[in-house]
Structure 1
């Protein structure tokens, strides 16, 4: 993959008079890494199981969270191998199912840079386009962010194995290792790892939240906003979009731009939310202190943000409303859906009835273990927040109740003690960790903090587990600091020559 010039959404490129070029940036990054001692020296003992080398850490998912975790682990001297089902360069949603023109995050956020200025998007952008182009940039174009992540992987020399779909994650019976079954172009294979990190994104422990009513429709007549789909097929069609979040706006705009006859957004609320409360929560204190909050405070923060909803981005909303054939229908929760005899999809709401040729449901994601057969061996054993905390009446929240109850290193806990030895060797570094840890496991603002917390915690767990081996290494360590010829032993005081007179 080659890096690109700024996309149209960024405006016309300005003269890059001070652009140093990517090779120069990579030399600067290499120098910074050398000064800071990245990668740390190897200290992990080599392990084998059934004649196969055992990985220190296997990371499932090669998007921004998986890359940040792998780089942070390298800084701890721990080798991680990343497995991703997508072809190289198409990990995560950015170049596949995401449809926004730009990221909603402010361009100044450093994302997965891990505190290294030369690893940031800004450094990557300015190296190619100069500081004037950076100053002119409003928001980061989506596809340009993907280009940056491709460069990040290469610049940090991360080990990513593409076209590798994980079909099963199974802790070994003795609890010492985790087995990953893989589907690869060369056939089925397996690997063993001492620890596994699930960097599986927004739908990390499940999939799309699909309303029951779509079950009455043929599958070819509807899509979830996260589905991979050619929106060109919607040209000339009457399209209904259920929802009003960012993915609903992006789907509606993409359909309109593809030539849809009309797009009706069916919005259950009487108005769109105006304020992103999640943005207001983004302070270092929350990032660093959320895990240690009392349960009721964690629930209060996350439920408040869920209840008020995150508004769609300003630009995404304007992208829809610029079309005369786009209609915002408020106070229209879906009451019934049916396929009429003439083939139209009829949707009943309290305000009006609608007829569509195609329906897009933008209804978010949910924890749904049944949707992820690769988790079948662990799903019955994972302790969730419904087993940990009972909210006050009126504060119930299904998303939060289904969230896993995680330990300090994002590790799963057992619902019943000793029922699944080795479950704690699997770390949930994806969106469902938000209730336990805050939003540090996927979103751009705090992904570096989360990755560093994960890596430092895993390093500590490995050290405690291998303590006897490390203590033996201390005992066997024999590199001298002194050689014995740096001094001369003094004779007893009564045998020393008398000092000479002044």
Structure 2
């Protein structure tokens, strides 16, 4: 630890932003636009449209801008409420180490640490354990402001329609009404449930909608005061939902966990090195599957702090080794669960059961879902290594692009790029989580730059031919007169 006299005092955000502006200026960023202006039937075409203004969408936008590729972000949320942090997330702190640089894209002055120290000082940083969730949201709001991102809030995508003429049409709904946008490339930066929604077990069909919620649902937890609450699952979202219910005065919270022991080791951390970040994409399919299936099967443990947040309540119960066999609604509206350990009566039930790819849950993708090549159609794992999440994942190209299940069935599908969690099977964890989001954003941006250049190579060649700015004007030298000897 540095001695107290050497610890830097807060310099303020104004000073940090001045430093960031200078860094960006010295690197001559953002890059000069170089793509040709494109129209279809008199309608201007965007180079890139990004769906989703959370940390993945913002990182992708900055990376594209740095390469001189104009882009626009569309997000269905209100301004400053993009992503889950201020809406459905319930954790007190992020689980990622505070030192991870996240979407900073190689700029020290754009990191969370720089933002934090500018306001609170170096000593406060040294004393910080984990990043508070809402402080991370405030950082992302600052990120948007200082990077001058073009985010169109309250724009919900109604349809993604690839076309054979080199563009993708987006149908949008906003407070101003419905509209259409054309883009040469579309990036789906739609988060954890980016290609589907919450996974729910079949027994949910037996329950009244007012008696259950998925942990990702928007819910007023104060309505659970005095009630008996069950939480299905033992991961981080289960702990967050359980703790929030307890803090809001639930009479009792039971965590129903099938495993006899909670997993203790986060195997995903064992893969966190630049080799895999950059190498996963290039591995044979059998190794991609083997690595991701192993991490999935081992499961990620809930954070220690989140678990202790629950266990400090005397009215919380960790019911390990408990599986639900059936559920019934009693005459008074309460729930009676039949478990392998006996009956359990509850007033409300949470499902902290994760997410799944489900095209039927996302009507905006109705035109593309049936055409997308998935891992199940390209790879058959060894017996015992089956994995529904991986099997359903899209089998992506090197620029995160969707590929057609049947070649030629939907021209233009490869103009849609999957920069959200379901890309993990093909690209590794570079498209949503904090640790390698900048690596993924640059991979995406560089790939799109290459594709755009290749499509327009004749245009760029004509520009080379037409370039006439001289570097020599002709008076820089005098020709010498001389003859070869005899």
Q: TM-score, normalised by structure 1?
A: 0.94
The residue number in structure 2 matching 1:82 is 73
Q: Secondary structure at the match of 2:435?
A: helix
Does residue 337 of the first structure (1) align with residue 327 of the second (2)? Answer: yes
The residue number in structure 2 matching 1:110 is 101
The residue number in structure 1 matching 2:474 is 484
In the aligned structure 2, how far is the partner of 1:409 from the partner of 1:33? 26
In the aligned structure 2, how far is the partner of 1:407 from the partner of 1:466? 20
How far apart are residue 175 of structure 1 and its match? 4.1
Q: How many residues align?
A: 480
The residue number in structure 1 matching 2:198 is 208
In the aligned structure 2, how far is the partner of 1:359 from the partner of 1:318? 21
Does residue 246 of the first structure (1) align with residue 244 of the second (2)? Answer: no
Task: Give the superposed CA RMSD.
Answer: 1.2
In the aligned structure 2, how far is the partner of 1:188 from the partner of 1:465? 31
In the aligned structure 1, how far is the partner of 2:362 from the partner of 2:92? 30
Of 36, 56, 63, which residue of structure 1 is paired with 2:47?
A: 56
In the aligned structure 2, how far is the partner of 1:104 from the partner of 1:318? 14
Q: Secondary structure at the match of 2:142?
A: helix
Does residue 19 of the first structure (1) align with residue 10 of the second (2)? Answer: yes
Q: Secondary structure at the match of 1:409?
A: coil
Does residue 139 of the first structure (1) align with residue 130 of the second (2)? Answer: yes
How far apart are residue 127 of structure 1 and its match? 0.7
In the aligned structure 1, how far is the partner of 2:468 from the partner of 2:11? 47
Does residue 66 of the first structure (1) align with residue 57 of the second (2)? Answer: yes
The residue number in structure 2 matching 1:5 is none
- 1:255-270 maps to which residues of 2 (within 5 A)? 255-270=245-260
User: What does the per-residue CA deviation read over 1:430-478, in whole Å, with 9 as the maximum and x for residues that have no partner?
Assistant: 0000000000000000000000000000000001110000000000011
Q: Secondary structure at the match of 1:207?
A: strand
Q: Secondary structure at the match of 1:101?
A: coil
Of 300, 304, 311, which residue of structure 2 is paired with 1:321?
A: 311
The residue number in structure 1 matching 2:4 is none
- 1:394-405 maps to which residues of 2 (within 5 A)? 394-405=384-395
In the aligned structure 1, how far is the partner of 2:89 from the partner of 2:261? 25
Of 276, 279, 284, which residue of structure 2 is paired with 1:289?
A: 279
The residue number in structure 2 matching 1:7 is none
Does residue 441 of the first structure (1) align with residue 431 of the second (2)? Answer: yes
In the aligned structure 2, how far is the partner of 1:196 from the partner of 1:33? 26
Unmatched tracts of structure 2, length 5 or more: 1-6
User: What does the per-residue CA deviation read over 1:361-382, in whole Å, with 9 as the maximum and x for residues that have no partner?
Assistant: 0000000000000001111100
The residue number in structure 2 matching 1:29 is 20
Of 136, 158, 174, which residue of structure 2 is paired with 1:167?
A: 158
Does residue 472 of the first structure (1) align with residue 458 of the second (2)? Answer: no
How far apart are residue 274 of structure 1 and its match? 0.3
In the aligned structure 1, how far is the partner of 2:253 from the partner of 2:472? 79
Moved over 2 A (4+): 492-495
Does the Cα contact within 8 Å between 1:74 and 1:80 map onto a contact in 2?
yes
